[in-house]
Structure 1
Amino acid sequence: MLDWLKKWYTNKFSDPQVVTLFLTLLLGFLAIYWLSGMLGPVLVAIAFAYLLEWPVARLSRLGFSRTISTTVVVVSFISVITLIVMSIIPAAWAQGRNLARDLPSMIESGKTYLLELPELFPGVVSAEQIYLMIQTADERLMTFSREILSLSLASIFDVVAVLIYLVLVPVMVFFMLKDKESLSSSFVGLLPTERKLISQVWHEMNGQIMNYIRGKILEILIVGAVSFVVFTLFGLNYALLLAVCVGFSVLVPYIGAALATLPIALVALFQWGLTAEFGYLMLAYGIIQALDGNVLVPLLFSEVVDLNPVFIIIAVLFFGGLFGFWGIFFAIPLASLVKATIKAWSSRVHPQPENAVDGPV
């Protein structure tokens, strides 16, 4: 057993390049895990810098200086985001208050419908089961209400943190874009001299991360906008609020779509009941999700999402548990990073012969 472990270790870690790559990734993960609270604004700024690098680079190719290009792009981006937020948040907040106001009557309607089930399905559902279900739901609702109240009270003390984000993040994004070359050189200077594998993995991941962030923002906007149009055409209550939820649900692959379906189905059920309108709405929503998963995602992430759905779900659960929201947001790039690292590691440890010829497919 010890001889086998020794041979495995010698085979896998005999190359200094492999050890350097492994230790660099390990230290990076540990630093983000332990310092994620303090590094939060930096991570947000890096994400926005990746998003805005493409227009800055395009303006620079047109002859503008890096400083002017960065200034134009950052100011334009902040202006557009401010307009979107100021136009969406008040309406979504108003719909959220209406939903909170109508929630007790919706709950009572749901209880009435459940109490009718024993008569509709005798022998399948008993009255005792329905009463137990209602009691459990009431207890869960009370617990959820207390958690929401405590969260709202605690959020008052987070105003300073929000202000810090609003001030620090734009400043850091500006200087990250303007001084990209000097910052990159400084970062590279911190790496070990034996970094060929690190460079190989980095060059492969750099473009993927940029494409992923840009594609994810576009996916949120497209899915949210299409959902809002569809919900409005059907006359669904709280259309904007539900469309915002659907748009942000794409941040969590597969799981988010399933979670967003529940409030849409409940609102439509309480508004129309089990009628044709309810069926048509759910059919239209299913078409939106199908087009998102089978058309939009392959178009936006063709170079990034080369992973089996099982691995993507595992990555969401694993990295989300480690890093919270940012682990969920970057779950696919992080999974791709693991894949690229294993690929580079295997090719380094078991290099292909120079005269190797591909066999028949």
Structure 2
Amino acid sequence: MLKVVGNWYQRKFSDPNALMLLLLIIISALVLYALGGILMPVLVAIVIAYLLDVPVSKLETYGVGRGLATSFVLIVFFFICFIAAVSLLPIISKQSVNLMKEVPNIWQSAQDWLAALPEKYPNTIEVSYIKSMMSGVNEKILEFGETVVSLSVSSLGTLAAILIYMILVPLMVFFMIKDKSIFVASFSLILPRERRLITQVGEEMNTQIANYIRGKVIEIIIVGAVSSIAFSLLQLKFAILLGVLVGFSVLIPYIGAAVVTIPVAVVGLFQFGMTAEFGWLMFVYLVIQALDGNLLVPLLFSEAVSLHPLYIIVAVLLFGGLWGFWGVFFAIPLATLVKALITAWSPNVAHKVSEA
């Protein structure tokens, strides 16, 4: 067994470049795992910096200084964010409160429907089974309500965190974009001399992450806006809230679309019943999901490395479990990183790199 492990190690890591790449990955993973919560504002700033680096670079090509271009792009970006927040947050907040008020009525209607099933199908469904199921669901609802109350009590800490983000993140984004070349040069000085594989994987991942962040933000905006407009035209209750949920559901490939279908279908069924309006709602929703998956995603992520859906789902579960929201957000780039590492450590690639 030890001989097999030794042969595998010799085959994969005999090249110092491969060993340095492995050490860098291990150290980076340990730092993120141990200090991820503390470094979260830094990660948020990096995401925004990736998003805004392209317009800053475009302004530079027209002769605008990088500092001035960075300031202008940041002002426009945060102004748009402020306008969007002022416009949407009151509506979303109001609809969220109204939805919470409607939940007891929705659940009561569901209980009435379930209670009528034994009368309609006496030979198939037992009354005791329905009662035990409703009792279990009621307990879960009470537990959820207690959780919501406890979260609202701790909202002061959340408010403090928001204030920190509002002050620190814009400053970090400004310096990350303005002094990008300085930070890249400083990071290069830290890296070991045997870094050909690190450079190879780093260049590939830099492009992948930048394309992914920009594409994902555009996808969220388009899907959320189209869903909100479509739900509003169909006169669905809580249209903006549900549209925003559909937009953010694209953060979690496959799983997000399946999960967000539940509130859309429940609200539509409670409002319209089993009518043509409900059928049109689900048809429009499925069309939006189909256009997103088959048209929008290929257009936005045409340069991304294709990954099998199973690998994407496993990556979402794994990295989401490790790092929460940001693990889910970066699940596809991280899965692409794993694929790039496997390619870099393959014997053929390592042999070609060693000859370069």
TM-score of the aligned structures, taking structure 1 as reference length: 0.95
Q: Does residue 1:213 correspond to 2:213, yes or no? A: yes
Q: Does residue 1:303 correspond to 2:293, yes or no? A: no
1:155: Cα distance to partner? 2.0
1:124: Cα distance to partner? 2.1
Name the amino acid aligned to 2:333. Answer: P
1:178: Cα distance to partner? 0.5
Correspondences of 1:186-335 after superposition (within 5 Å): 186-335=186-335
1:353: Cα distance to partner? 12
Q: Which moved more, 1:339-348 or 1:69-78?
A: 339-348
Residue of structure 1 in register with 2:62 after alignment: 62
Residue of structure 1 in register with 2:339 after alignment: 339
**TM-aligned CA distance change 1:305 to 1:91, over 3 Å:** farther
Unpaired segments ≥5 residues, structure 2:
none
Name the amino acid aligned to 1:302. Answer: S
Partner of 1:324, secondary structure, is: helix
Q: In structure 2, what is the Cα distance between the partners aligned to 1:353 and 1:53?
A: 33
Name the amino acid aligned to 1:316. Answer: V
Name the amino acid aligned to 1:123. Answer: N
Q: In structure 2, what is the Cα distance between the partners aligned to 1:50 and 1:80?
A: 17
Q: Which moved more, 1:36-45 or 1:121-130?
A: 121-130
Residue of structure 2 in register with 1:136 after alignment: 136
1:352: Cα distance to partner? 9.7
- The answer to whether the Cα contact below 8 Å between 1:11 and 1:349 also exists between their aligned partners in 2 is no
Partner of 1:63, secondary structure, is: coil
Q: In structure 1, what is the Cα distance between the partners aligned to 2:296 and 2:305?
A: 12
**Number of equivalences:** 354
Name the amino acid aligned to 2:103. Answer: L
Q: In structure 2, what is the Cα distance between the partners aligned to 1:351 and 1:179?
A: 34
Unpaired segments ≥5 residues, structure 1:
355-361
1:249: Cα distance to partner? 0.7
Residue of structure 2 in register with 1:160 after alignment: 160
- The answer to whether the Cα contact below 8 Å between 2:15 and 2:354 also exists between their aligned partners in 1 is no
Residue of structure 1 in register with 2:149 after alignment: 149
Percent identical among aligned pairs is 51
Q: In structure 2, what is the Cα distance between the partners aligned to 1:272 and 1:120?
A: 22
- The answer to whether the Cα contact below 8 Å between 1:305 and 1:332 also exists between their aligned partners in 2 is no
Q: In structure 1, what is the Cα distance between the partners aligned to 2:225 and 2:319?
A: 29
Name the amino acid aligned to 1:186. Answer: S
Correspondences of 1:23-62 after superposition (within 5 Å): 23-62=23-62
Residue of structure 2 in register with 1:357 after alignment: none
1:350: Cα distance to partner? 4.7
Name the amino acid aligned to 2:185. Answer: S
1:208: Cα distance to partner? 1.0
Q: Which moved more, 1:117-126 or 1:178-187?
A: 117-126
Partner of 1:304, secondary structure, is: coil
1:29-81 per-position Cα deviation (integer Å, ceiling 9, x unaligned): 11011001110000000000000001000000011000111011000000000
Q: In structure 1, what is the Cα distance between the partners aligned to 2:351 and 2:163?
A: 52
- The answer to whether the Cα contact below 8 Å between 1:319 and 1:331 also exists between their aligned partners in 2 is yes
Q: Which moved more, 1:343-352 or 1:302-311?
A: 343-352
1:351: Cα distance to partner? 4.1
TM-score of the aligned structures, taking structure 2 as reference length: 0.97
